[in-house]
Structure 1
Amino acid sequence: MLASLPLAYLILMAAAATFVFSFAMAKWIPGRKSRIVFPAVSVACCLGMILAGQLQYQHWSPQHMLVQYSFGWVGLTVGLFPSRKLMHQYAEEINRGVKREKYDVPKRYTMFAVMTVIAMSFVASLLS
């Protein structure tokens, strides 16, 4: 369904997902680097997904991979929402120069992030 849309709409959808993710991460993780790093990593992941889709035995089209990327990236943003305060706290400590041996993240935060990415990827597969 969604993969049959014109490529321009799918690129717009991927750009919107990248913008939402980058905006959220820049807000949750203070610092100048986050405004540059997260959009660059997002674009690299998108291009990597398209390349990985082409290398698969089934040869997933770029349209399918753009749908997967968009839904997966929105799922990741939603999944990281509960841990935003913890990420903010750790980022501020790192900016002040405080180094910890281990940055503890509760398992419920990790499981929520993993489950939302899996659920959104499943929905993307159904809709594409």
Structure 2
Amino acid sequence: MLVSLPLAYLILMAAAATFVFSFAMAKWIPGRKGKIVFPAVSVACCLGMVLVGQLQYQHWSPQHMLVLYSFGWVGLTVGLFPSRKLMHQYAEEINRGEKREKYDVPARYTVFAVFSVVVMSFVAYALSQ
């Protein structure tokens, strides 16, 4: 269904997902590096997904991979939402030079993030058929 959209719309959808993720990460994790690193990593992940889709046995089209990237990235943003205060706190400590041996993250945050990405990936797969 979504794969039948013109490629420009799918690229716009991927760019919007990248913007939302990068904006959220820059807001939740203070520091100047994040404003450069998160968009760069997002674009690299998008290009990597398109490349991997081409190299697979099934030869997923770039349209399929852009839909999967967009939904996966939005799922990751939603999944990281509950842990935003904890990420902010840890990032401020690191910026002040304080290092911990272990950064504890409650299991419910991890489970919610994984669940959110998996559900959004299934939705992306269903909408791209």
Alignment partner, residue 94 of structure 2: 94
Gap regions ≥5 residues in structure 2 = none
Question: Partner amino acid for 2:39?
Answer: P
1:62-103 CA-to-partner distances (Å, cap 9, x unmatched) read 000000000000000000000000000000000000000000
Q: Secondary structure at the match of 1:99?
A: coil
CA RMSD in angstroms, aligned pairs only: 0.2
User: 2:64 maps to what in 1?
Assistant: 64
CA–CA separation in structure 1 for the residues paired with 2:55 and 2:113:
27
Instruction: State the TM-score, normalized to the length of structure 2.
Output: 0.99
Match in the other structure for 1:43: 43
Partner of 2:76: 76
Identity %: 88
Unpaired runs of at least 5, structure 1? none
Structure 1 residue 54 corresponds to structure 2 residue 54: yes
Q: Which runs of 4+ in 1 moved over 6 A?
A: none
TM-score by length of 1: 1.00
